[in-house]
Amino acid sequence: MRSLLFPFLLLLAVNAASQQADPYNYSPRKYMAATRFAVSSAHPMASEAGAAVMRQGGNAVDAAIATQLALAVVYPQAGNLGGGGFLVARLTDGRTLSIDYREKAPGKAHRDMYLDAAGNPVVRRSLDGHLAAGVPGTVAGLAASLPYGRLPLSKLVAPAIVLAEKGFAITEQEAAGLNRLQEAFIRLNTRPSAFVKAAPWKAGDTLIQKDLANTLRRIAKKGMKGFYEGETARLVAEEMQRGGGIITKADMAAYKAVLRKPVEFTFRGHTVISMPLPSSGGIGLQQMLGMVEDFPLEKYGFHSPEAVQRMIEAERRAYADRAQYLGDPDFVKVPVQQLTDRKYLQQRIADFTPGKPTPSTGVKAGGPFESMETTHLSVVDAEGNAVSVTTTLNGSYGNKVVVGGAGFLLNNEMDDFSVKPGAPNLYGLLGTEANAIAPGKRMLSCMTPTIVLKNNLPYLVTGTPGGSTIITSLFQTLVNDIVFGLDAKTTVNAPKFHHQWWPEDVLIEKAFPDSTRTALTNMGYNLKVSGPWSRTELIRILNGKIEAVGDWRGDDSVAGE
Ligand code: DON
């Protein structure tokens, strides 16, 4: 009997152990089929933290919170406490919601703060160092998400505290990122940080973040107050004073996340739920999908010159509207209704010429109308809740400033404002008055956490980082699945193309098909090989079968059961 039981017990033990990923020895899992729940995120340990919470009885919202907190530790390029983000959810009772925890301009910010005496933008000023940071929103966003979960915050912070306190082995991509920025970390920081070391970082090195562990403990104990008041807020204000920044204790205490009504629309019989302003993502996605909905794209074929050309032209027009009209809805009046009206979108694309580019110089914003480094995670649970979160520091490692004594990086999100009309930001995006800097205002974003329903049930849960390429990546993800019927892995991993009105070029990833490239070049498009860009996390649920995909482009990884 004993000899029969032993292998069985051993198998059980191995199974249990394999569910507890080892922080010193892990590798990404790019695809899985699950039956109960799944998480897809930028890092194996973060996806595992989310899955562990669901094994303990938490729901998808709990898992999304735990995954974000773990990302703040294991993925410092973009996971964060010192940045901001957006959450879109579809709950099992049919409710949809979006939470806006985008950073805000500090009270002392003003519209010309990144211009020199001659009125020209000083480019690095909105990107590097203390002045580039907006007031962080992430912890307020987690606190605003908490009522939709079921477990206490202390349980959700626990995996992140262990990872920060005991450390974890860094990946090759992380080592490369940290090495690339050693000089910047030294130059821009006022205190030593965990990210700087004498010898170059290499894959497998352990990263320990004691100050960050203490900040996480304060959050576990006091929730929002553990971050926006008391010790953490004091450390942020002191860091700002030492480094010439402008965020004050009062800015921290005043920060609030906002519950907003998601963008919702239909596309080819599916319901798309996405992020409203101050993200341009949901509106942009609705515009692009709306412009191509009536084209027989599937007849032209996946990646055919005809299909790609029509999609590029839709991207061009949506980005022209974005530059002109979109900004923080708490500050500017945006004609959302008109911009997303079905008739308007049909007319908007009606002037396109098959086989020929429409020069961007000729594509002004529609209307006029009256009056007026990021990371994504997707989660589904066994009850039918679906959560889609994109969160960011903006550039890789944000403004590269670690808050002395608190151990977390700050964002450089101020660069997402239009620092001057006509001056491109980090992603080459242009803007106008609608996205000018003002105290307390939220900068426009492209982040597009999205959920697609089929037959009124969650079908796709998806999103991606990638700055201006976010919306076009999401556009292609949805078209790949809904129009071309590609399988989940190909939907994520197929090469992409990107156009954003200005500049005139069309970017393509290296593996984009040569024949289509030649055909588009012959039509007069200026194609440039770039990337790889964006890292799409996709969960697809069909007939009770859950498929989770992590993008091949990074350390992205899935977990679940
Ligand atoms: O909010 C935005 O649109 C940008 N700050 C996102 C930045 C981003 O995706 C960087 N990742 N590659």
Q: Whose CA is nearest to atom 1 of ligand 1?
A: 445
Inter-residue contact 276 to 99 (CB < 8 Å)? no
Rounded Cα gap, residues 529 and 304, in angstroms? 18
Q: How far is the CA of 397 from the centre of ligand 1 (A)?
A: 12
Q: How far is the CA of 411 from the centre of ligand 1 (A)?
A: 11
Rounded Cα gap, residues 524 and 339, in angstroms? 28
Question: Which atom of ligand 1 is least distant from the CA of 535?
Answer: 12
| Kind plus residue range of the DSSP H or E element containing 499 | none
Q: How far is the CA of 83 from the centre of ligand 1 (A)?
A: 11
What is the reported pLDDT for 1?
A: 37
pLDDT category at 15 given cuts 50, 70, 90 is very low
Q: Whose CA is nearest to atom 11 of ligand 1?
A: 373
Rounded Cα gap, residues 537 and 78, in angstroms? 15
pLDDT category at 370 given cuts 50, 70, 90 is low
- Residue 388, strand partner residues: 88, 378
Inter-residue contact 137 to 102 (CB < 8 Å)? yes
Structure tokens at 464: 């991606």
CA nearest to 470, candidates 281, 278, 275, 271: 281
Taking 70 as the threshold, does the pLDDT of residue 12 lie above it?
Answer: no
Taking 70 as the threshold, does the pLDDT of residue 10 lie above it?
Answer: no
Q: Where are the alpha helices (DSSP H) in 205-302?
A: 210-222, 225-228, 230-243, 249-254, 281-292, 297-300
Percent of the chain with pLDDT over 90: 92
pLDDT, tens digit (0-9, with 9 covering 90-100), for 387-441: 999 999 999 999 999 999 999 999 999 999 999 988 999 999 998 899 999 999 9
Q: What is the Cβ-side half-sphere exposure of residue 482, based on CA atoms within 13 angstroms?
A: 23
What is the reported pLDDT for 146?
A: 98
Question: Which atom of ligand 1 is least distant from the CA of 415?
Answer: 5
Taking 70 as the threshold, does the pLDDT of residue 232 lie above it?
Answer: yes
Rounded Cα gap, residues 225 and 98, in angstroms? 22
pLDDT category at 17 given cuts 50, 70, 90 is very low
pLDDT, tens digit (0-9, with 9 covering 90-100), for 471-506: 999 999 999 999 999 999 999 999 999 999 999 999
Rounded Cα gap, residues 229 and 524, in angstroms? 56
226: Cβ contacts below 8 Å, ≥ 6 apart: 139, 215, 218, 219, 220, 232
Question: Which atom of ligand 1 is least distant from the CA of 533?
Answer: 12
Percent of the chain with pLDDT over 70: 96
Taking 80 as the threshold, does the pLDDT of residue 371 lie above it?
Answer: no
Inter-residue contact 358 to 64 (CB < 8 Å)? no
What is the reported pLDDT for 367?
A: 75
Average pLDDT over residues 14-21: 48
**Catalytic-labelled residue, pool 248, 271, 374, 390:** 374
What is the reported pLDDT for 20?
A: 63
Report whether residue 286 contacts ligand 1, using a CB cutoff of 6 Å.
no
Report whether residue 416 contacts ligand 1, using a CB cutoff of 6 Å.
yes
Taking 60 as the threshold, does the pLDDT of residue 113 lie above it?
Answer: yes
Helix 153-166 with 44-55: angle, nearest 10 deg: 140
374 in catalytic set: yes
Report whether residue 449 contacts ligand 1, using a CB cutoff of 6 Å.
no
Rounded Cα gap, residues 466 and 36, in angstroms? 30
Taking 80 as the threshold, does the pLDDT of residue 377 lie above it?
Answer: yes
In angstroms, how far apart are the furthest CA atoms of the chain? 87
Structure tokens at 520: 């588009």
Task: Name the 3-class secondary structure at 461.
Answer: strand
| Cα→Cα distances 449→395, 434, 442, 461, 537, Å | 18, 23, 17, 8, 10
Per-residue burial over 95-125, b if 16 or more Cβ lie within 10 Å, else e, is ebbbbbbbbbbbeebebebbeeeeeebeeeb
Report whether residue 134 contacts ligand 1, using a CB cutoff of 6 Å.
no
Taking 70 as the threshold, does the pLDDT of residue 181 lie above it?
Answer: yes
Which domains does the chain possess? 2-99+136-259+373-418 (no CATH), 264-371+447-560 (3.60.20.40)
Q: How far is the CA of 464 from the centre of ligand 1 (A)?
A: 9
Q: Whose CA is nearest to atom 12 of ligand 1?
A: 466
pLDDT, tens digit (0-9, with 9 covering 90-100), for 300-348: 999 999 999 999 999 999 999 999 999 999 999 999 999 999 999 999 9
Report whether residue 243 contacts ligand 1, using a CB cutoff of 6 Å.
no
- The phi-psi region of residue 148 (left if phi > 0; otherwise alpha if psi is between -120 and 50; otherwise beta) is alpha
Task: Name the 3-class secondary structure at 72.
Answer: helix
Q: Whose CA is nearest to atom 10 of ligand 1?
A: 373
Range list of β-strands (E), 494-554: 497-498, 506-509, 527-530, 537-542, 545-550
Q: How far is the CA of 532 from the centre of ligand 1 (A)?
A: 15
CA 393 centroid distance within chain: 9
Q: Hey, which of 409, 425, 447 would you mutate to test ligand 1's pocket, going by the most ligand atoms within 8 Å of its Cβ? A: 447
What is the reported pLDDT for 214?
A: 98
DSSP 266: E
Rounded Cα gap, residues 320 and 500, in angstroms? 8
pTM confidence score: 0.95
Report whether residue 446 contacts ligand 1, using a CB cutoff of 6 Å.
yes
Average pLDDT over residues 191-212: 98
Q: How far is the CA of 79 from the centre of ligand 1 (A)?
A: 12
